[in-house]
Amino acid sequence: MILRLEMPPELVLRSQEMKQADAASIAAGIPGIELMRRAGGAVAKAAAEMLTKEAKVVVAAGPGQNGGDGFVVATLLVRQGHRVSLGLLGNVERLSGDAALAAKDWKGPVEAAEDLPFPEADLIVDALFGTGIARDLYGSARAAVERMNASGRPILAVDLPSGIDGDTGRVRGVAVRAMRTVTFAARKPCHLLMPGRAFSGDVEVADIGITSKTLAASGGKLFANAPSLWLDKLPRPELSSHKYDRGHTLVVSGGATRTGAARLAARAALRIGSGLVTVASPPEALGVNAAQLTAVMLRGCDGPEGLHHILQDVRLNALVLGPALGVHSGTRAMVAVAAHARRSLVLDADALTSFEDLASELHQAFHYAPTVLTPHDGEFKRLFNGHPDILDPESKIERAHRAAVYTGAVVVLKGPDTVIASPDGRAAINENGTPYLGTAGTGDTLCGIIAGLMAQGMPPFEAASAGVWIHAEAGASFGPGLIAEDLAELVPGVLRKLLN
C-alpha cells in the first residue's frame, strides 16, 4: 500500500450528480457527443486490451445514451480491425441526442438485441443501460441480460452493469455479471455497494475531461473510504507527548459472565493509541476482569450512578457502551448518563438494541457528545422500527444518512459495504471488508478502535471511517482462522504502514 499524503479523497457521484457534472462540462464547452466519444473511446481501449486481433466482439446497445456509448465502441473496434456485431434494444429511429449522432457513425448493420449471437463472442460489450435505469428490467431487456449471462462469455460493462441501480447497487430484476466495467469521471455508489460491486467486476474510471472541480461542485459529500479521506487527521504522537495527551478511554463491562466484549474493546483502544484505557466493571465482575487485565486499568462501577460518579474525572474523554451490557432500562440509563457527560461516545450492540422501538429517546440526543453508533443491519432495523422514513429508502447511504441526521450521531451501518454517515451530509463507503471478520467479538474490537481514535482527538466522522478501514485491513492481513482476540494485535502493523 503506497500512501501519498497529497492524494485527495476519492469522490463518488450519484446518478443525478453525474448528470449535473455532464451538463456543467457541456456548458463549459465540451459538446455532449465529445463526452460520449471519449467515453466510448475509453471502453474501446479497455476492450482492445482484452482481445486478440481477429477477435469477435458483440455489442448490445440500449435505447439511451449508454447505448450511444455502445455505438462509439463498435465503430472504434471495427476501425481497429476487430469483427464486431451490434444489436440494439428498440429501433434506431427512436434514438435521440448524442446517441443518435453516435449511431450515424456506425456503418455496420443494426441487428435486434434479441438476435445477438452472444455465445460466439470473444467479448460482449454491455451498453444496454447505465445510470438511466428507471425500473426493473422485463421483456426483451430482461431476456437480453439473461442471454448475455447465460453465454458464459466475458462481459465488459459500459459505465455500470445493466440492471444494476447506479445509486443503490441493487439488482433491478436481473443484472449483467460483468468481468470488467469502465465508468466515466467518477465511480458511482453501485461500484462500491453490494451487490453492485460484485456485478461490476474490475472497475476502471476513465477521464473524459470532466474536471475534479466540476465533480466537487456536483457532488462533494460522498467518498470511497480510504486513507486519503482521513490520514491527515490520524493521530501522530509527538516526541514530547505523554500518555495524558493521548486521551483516556473508558469501556463499560457487562456482568460476571459477560466481560470479554469490554476487554476486547479496551485492548483495541490501547492498541490504536489511547493514552490510558479503563474498564468500568460491575462489582460482581471485578475479579474476573482483574484476572485478565494488565495495561488496561480497572474500576468498580455500579450502574448508572456509578458511571456518573466515575465520569466526574474529566480526563475520561471517550466512552464505549454497549457490548454485553444487557438489553434493559439500566443500559438506557447508562447511555443517558454518558450522553449528558458530553464525552466522545461509541454506542454498539445492547446500547442500541435497548432502544428498540424507543429511537425517539435518541432523537438529537448527541449534539454535545461526539457520538458514533455502530449497528449492523439487524440492530439498525430494530432500533429504528417504526421510523419508515429512516428504514424505507432503497439506498443504504440514504438510510444511514437519515439515521445520522435524526440522532445527531455519526452512524456506521456495518456490512461487507459498511457505510459511515455524518449528520453534516458526508458519507463514506468501505470496500476492504473481509468475510473473515464475520466472527464473534470483532464488533467489540471496532468500538475500541473508534473510541481510541476519538480519545486522541480525532473527529467522529474521520475516527469512524479510519476505524472501519483499519479494522478491516487488520482482519484481511490475518485471513483464515481470524478470531476477535487476534484483531487488536494486528492494528500496529496497519498503523505502521499508515504512519510511515
Ligand X SMILES: NC(=O)C1=CN([C@@H]2O[C@H](COP(=O)(O)OP(=O)(O)OC[C@H]3O[C@@H](n4cnc5c(N)ncnc54)[C@H](O)[C@@H]3O)[C@@H](O)[C@H]2O)[C@H](O)CC1
Q: Binding site membership for AMP: which residues?
A: 414-418, 443
Determine the Cα angle at 237 with ends 347 and 277, to 5°: 40
68 binds ligand X (CB under 6 A): yes
**Binding footprint of ligand X, residue count (CB under 6 A):** 27
- Name which of ligand X, K ion, none residue 473 binds, using a CB cut-off of 5 to 8 Å depending on partner kind: none
Which residue carries 467479448 as its cell?
A: 123
Positions that interact with K ion (CB under 5 A): 126, 157-158, 162
134 binds ligand X (CB under 6 A): yes
Q: How far is CA 93 from the centre of its chain?
A: 41
The backbone torsions φ and ψ at residue 125, rounded to the nearest 5 degrees and listed phi first, read: -105, 120
69 binds ligand X (CB under 6 A): yes
Which residue carries 460518579 as its cell?
A: 309
Nearest distance, CB of residue 375 and K ion, angstroms: 33
- Name which of K ion, ligand X, none residue 215 binds, using a CB cut-off of 5 to 8 Å depending on partner kind: none
Give me the sheet containing 248-252, strands edge to edge: 222-224, 427-429, 419-421, 410-413, 371-373, 344-347, 318-321, 248-252, 276-281, 297-300
- CA-based R_g, the chain, Å: 26
Nearer to ligand X by C-beta: 39 or 250? 39
Nearest distance, CB of residue 89 and ligand X, angstroms: 7
Stretch that binds ligand X, among 3-11, 35-43, 259-267, 310-318 (CB under 6 A): 35-43
> Helix 32-49 and helix 97-105: axis angle, to 10°?
50
Applying the rule CB under 6 A, the residues between 153 and 172 that interact with ligand X are 158-159
Nearer to K ion by C-beta: 98 or 126? 126
Among 11, 30, 35, 175, binds ligand X (CB under 6 A): 35
426's CB contacts (< 8 A; 6+ apart) are 221, 222, 223, 461
Nearer to K ion by C-beta: 9 or 196? 196
Q: Do residues 375 and 411 make contact, with C-beta atoms less than 8 angstroms apart?
A: yes
Determine the Cα angle at 92 with ends 164 and 206, to 5°: 45
Per-residue interface string for the shown chain with ligand X, residues 314-333, x marking contact by CB under 6 A: --------------------
463 binds ligand X (CB under 6 A): no
126 binds ligand X (CB under 6 A): no
Binding positions for ligand X, rule: CB under 6 A: 18, 22, 35-36, 39, 62-69, 129-135, 137, 141, 158-159, 184-185, 210
